[in-house]
Amino acid sequence: MTAQTPTDRTGDAPVDHVGFGGGTMISAGYGAVAEDDARGALDAAFAAGVRFYDTAHFYGSGRSESLVGEMLHERRDRITLCTKGGVRYTDPSDMRTLVCDSSYDGLRAFMEESLTRLRTDHVDIYLLHQFDPALTPEQQMENLARLREDGLVKEVGFCNFGAEASRRALATGIPGVVEYSYSLLDQRYVTELSDAGRRGGRRITYGSYVHGLLSQDFEPDHDFGPDDWRGRSRTIGQSGTSGNIFFAGDAFAANVRIAKRLKVIADELGLSPAAFVLALTVREPHSDIALMGVRSAQELTDGLAGLSVPLSDDVLARVAEILADADRPTENRLGLPS
């Protein structure tokens, strides 16, 4: 294996393969975060050259979109803006109240609310956040196409579809973008990402840090806060599209051991775990834009620090050896009975 820098893959600047993930900068899901810190993270991302911003109607019941709109609306013509719709909580305090609506009227309402918060008249990419079981994949893609015809979005696509739904949706020729979880530990959606890539679609990937597992120095007995879904996963177990599978049961301790082995190499390179993991992730073959979830300017700057650091053949071989010992799930179970 030849030593690589991130630019070897496409000739673009490394930061061109990184996007700002807006799901972690809200005071929900990952514990409390100060909104001024979130604003600082967005400002630092733009200053560092990040031009792709991913958010969703669903994140904080719109709060993430509002922060993105507040910080970036004066820079709108210089960024690529992606948001998602089709799901909401009827009661944001109760995760059991999640409902889907990918009808045209439903998506139009989602979109209009998102545009107001984002302070723009269109978005560059609009994605269905997850599959709506009330409609066929073809119907959902046709409804997205109508939004595109309305001039509200340039490109459309989907996130988190099961294998068969993804195949049928892509076969319509309508979606130009897909978004799935993908990381050094998460290989569940490689088939769907590969299929989209073969069709010329853009592949956005989230969970680069495996929801903090690879970027934070956890101990196996770490006690997550009461407002952090990762703690609930320790007892509730696996479900849905999230990273529960990496935190539930014995998986958490095993993955912490993998993270600590990677951290040894990061320390030798003078990099934080976050910087090292992101530098590795942008080299992965199934991601065109790897999202990084950060909640402060410091986290943003730290995460980008490894992109310009060449990684030797020896380093890459050691990483491959560590990951060979990891239990990396490979089956897309979205849409299957639990």
pLDDT digit string, tens, across residues 214-249: 999 999 888 887 777 787 776 665 544 566 789 887
Residue 6, pLDDT > 60, answer no
Give yes or no for residue 266 having a pLDDT over 90: yes
Task: Quote the CA–CA distance of 137 and 183 in Å, as a whole number.
Answer: 26
Confidence band (pLDDT; 50, 70, 90) for 7? very low
Distances in whole angstroms, Cα of residue 304 to Cα of each of 234, 286, 307 = 30, 20, 6
Confidence of residue 338 (pLDDT cuts 50, 70, 90): very low
For residue 194, pLDDT over 80 is answered with yes
User: In which band, very low, low, confident or very high, does the pLDDT at 337 lie, cut at 50, 70 and 90?
Assistant: low
Work out whether the CA dihedral 56, 57, 59, 65 comes out positive or negative: positive
72 pLDDT exceeds 90? yes
Task: Count how many residues are written for the chain.
Answer: 338
Instruction: Kindly tell me if the per-residue pLDDT of 280 is higher than 90.
Output: yes
Closest CA to 205 of 274, 281, 129, 141: 281
Other beta carbons within 10 Å of 252 = 20
pLDDT of residue 10: 47
Q: Name which residue leads in pLDDT, 210 or 26.
A: 210
Query: Residue 231: what residue type?
Result: G
- Indicate the domain borders of the chain: 14-218+274-309
Check residue 144 and give its pLDDT.
Answer: 98
* Mean pLDDT score, 56-73: 92
Q: What is the pLDDT of residues 129-188, one digit of tens each?
A: 999 999 999 999 999 999 999 999 999 999 999 999 999 999 999 999 999 999 999 999
CATH 3.30.160.160 fits 14-218+274-309, yes or no: no
| pLDDT score, position 245 | 85
E strands within 133-209? 153-159, 177-181, 202-206
φ, ψ (nearest 5 deg) of residue 124: -75, -35
Tokens, residue 332: 């897309």
pLDDT tens-digit map of 88-114: 877 766 667 788 999 999 999 999 999
Give the whole-number percent of the chain exceeding pLDDT 70: 89
**What pLDDT is stored for residue 88 in this prediction?**
84
Query: Which residues, 6 or more positions from 181, have their beta carbon under 8 angstroms from its beta carbon?
Result: 160, 188, 189, 205, 206, 207, 241, 243
Regarding predicted confidence, which is higher, 14 or 263? 263
Residue 1 pLDDT > 70, yes or no? no
Q: What is the per-residue pLDDT for 58?
A: 87
What pLDDT is attached to residue 239? 47
pLDDT band at 250 (very low <50, low <70, confident <90, very high): confident
Average pLDDT, the chain: 89
